[in-house]
Amino acid sequence: MDGNRWALLLLDRAFDYQVQDPQTKAFRGFEVKRLLIRSRWQGQSVGDAEPTSVFVLIAGDESLFDEEKIDPKKFYFEAWAMCQNEKKG
């Protein structure tokens, strides 16, 4: 996979998440079932043999994944993480 592309990660187990609305300061909770990830390192891709550092984006609304072209700017940037393929065998 190209290191400049976002990958959709379907989670084995969903988790609850909460964000604060900047205008109203009210908190809103939702369930996270999928994440967008992309390599932070030039020349490294998600899915390469070696682990890579990734950006992690969370969708506040699952309908964002239904759009014809997913816009990462509509997601919450929440973390960086390390990502590697599972070793099978």
What does the DSSP assignment read for the chain?
--TTS-EEEEEEEEEEEEEE-TTT--EEEEEEEEEEEEESSTT--TTSSS-EEEEEEE-SSGGGGGSSS--GGGSEEEEEEEE-PPP--
**Higher pLDDT, residue 52 or 89:** 52
User: For 2-50, what is each residue's pLDDT tens digit?
Assistant: 556 888 999 999 999 999 988 999 999 999 999 999 999 888 888 777 8
Tell whether the model's pLDDT for residue 83 goes beyond 50.
yes
pLDDT score recorded for residue 1: 46
| 8 A C-beta contact, residue 76 and residue 60 | yes
Residue 82 has pLDDT above 50, yes or no: yes
Please give the pLDDT value at position 47: 78
Contact 81, 9 (CB under 8 A): no
- Paired tokens of 82: 């390390």
Domain ranges of the chain: 7-83
pTM: 0.81
The mean per-residue pLDDT over the stretch 47-72 comes to 90
